[in-house]
Amino acid sequence: MKIVGVAACTVGIAHTYIAQEKLENAGKKAGHEISVETQGTIGTESELTQEQIAEADIVIIAADVKIAGRERFEGKRIIQVTTEIAVKSPNKLIEKAVEVVNQKN
């Protein structure tokens, strides 16, 4: 399964990057292809390409603030959670993403 995501916290420093790392590690551990963009105080990093978004089965938005460019994900299945959930329960979040994709097929 291909997963893309965006991580963004209110301050745009610690939780943004921790959420990115936890999601990427959990996704890879579960055997999925995953890329997570960060939106923080220094701007957007690891920006997702249109190709990555087009090929994605699901989008995970782990954000405590409004993210920039949300319209890029129009028509995609989206799970939106706080960064805290992505940090504390990344494996369960990836499992939920798989469930959502499988329910829709």
Give catalytic residues, as residue numbers.
9
Query: What is the sign, positive or negative, of the torsion defined by CA atoms of 35, 63, 44, 11?
Result: negative
For 74, the token pair is: 């129009």
Tell me phi and psi for residue 78, to 5 degrees: -130, 135
For 95, the token pair is: 């499992």
